[in-house]
Amino acid sequence: MADGRFSILVYVGLDLVGDGVMKLPFLRALRAAWPEAHITWLAGQGKTVFAGVLAPLTDHYLDDVIEDAKIGLAWPELLTRPLRGRRFDLILDTQRRLLTTLILRRIRHRTFISGAGGWLLSDRRPPGGRGKPPSMIGQMLALVEAASSRPADPHSALRLDPANDAEAERRLPAGPVYIGFAPGAGGRHKCWPLDNFIALAMRQGKAGRVPVMFLGPQEQSWESEIRDALPDAVFPLDARTAPPLTIALARRLTCAVANDSGAGHMLAAGEIPLISLFGPTSPEKFAPVTRTLTVIRAQTFGGEMMSLIPLSAVADCLDGILTHPG
């Protein structure tokens, strides 16, 4: 117990920015399942963005963050008692290396949940059985389901600092219908052609809606080309825009279109209708979590190259969402 509350320890190896954004639905499901619990996030093998750039998002979800703990690395740890002096009602092991799982079981606990080895060392299993979900977030949500014996809810409202909402409203004032576009990705092979994004955004502009372009640091060179073609487009991000503000901006959109990217996951965290474009990567593994998600795959059109996705297919899908939001 911590402060007399039910205590939970979540173990991860480390969290980079992309990892942290993808794990936000897990945090929401965890807090929804145990609203009053004291939750500790333990990064055993490195740093975590939940102690850094994403810390503003964790106040409601995490009570304690421990990073670079050097836990779960080597066999001699089996002879020790990690986190000596602490005991948890529930431990959720989010990784699948058996040695690390054995080490984590040395932490004093009441219930231990882990998918490692087909749930071999877990005190409970998900209601659906031992199958391994293909996505990372699916695997993490399965831990919540195993521990709580009920479906996980990754869609509870994400709490943001009111200052982020206020700044988002300043950058995207009320009135216009905003349509978001995130044309970048971690690799150009995951990007739908920029000309298609521009043409799609141009159609929205002609329909009286305002295109909102979400460009990351790697896409800044595209801005002048996009501005020339779309003089009424809005570029709400700057070099200092942190993920919490990007999510607040996403909440002001009517819907959005994105590649398989970190920006796509941040737009999804805004819980808006999202069209997610996939080619060489697997949506089963990497699709973002949001209430209204439409995945369009290049494979539907004959291969995995993003250029195979027709402009008309995305435009028709977007028009359908705008016409029938439900």
Mean pLDDT by 10 residues, the chain (326 residues): 83 93 95 96 96 91 96 94 94 96 97 95 84 87 95 88 95 97 95 98 97 94 96 92 94 97 95 97 94 96 97 97 79
Residues 117 and 234 in one domain: no
Residues 217 and 261 in one domain: yes
Residues 118 and 233 in one domain: no
> What per-residue confidence (pLDDT) applies to 59?
86
> Looking at 148, 178, 207, which one is the last position of a domain?
148
Residues 178 and 77 in one domain: no
What are the tens digits of pLDDT across the range 10-40?
999 999 998 999 999 999 999 999 999 999 9
Residues 228 and 138 in one domain: no
pTM, two decimal places: 0.91
Q: What CATH number does the domain containing 235 carry? A: 3.40.50.2000
Q: Does the residue 208 lie in any domain?
A: yes
Structural domain total, the chain = 2
Instruction: Write out the residue range of the structural domain in which residue 15 sits.
Output: 7-148
Residue 148 near residue 33 (C-beta atoms within 8 A): yes
Q: Does the residue 243 lie in any domain?
A: yes
Q: Find all residues with CB under 8 Å of 27, minimum gap 6, and list them.
A: 57, 58, 61, 62
Residues 72 and 27 in one domain: yes
Residue 28 near residue 137 (C-beta atoms within 8 A): no
β-pair partners for 40: 9, 64
Residues 98 and 183 in one domain: no
Q: Does the residue 156 lie in any domain?
A: no
- What totals of helices (H) and strands (E) does the chain contain, helices first? 12, 10
> Looking at 103, 122, 148, which one is the last position of a domain?
148
Q: Does the residue 209 lie in any domain?
A: yes
Residue 325 is given by DSSP the state -
Residues 77 and 124 in one domain: yes
Q: Which of 8, 14, 28 is nearest to 160 (CA)?
A: 28
> Looking at 98, 126, 148, which one is the last position of a domain?
148
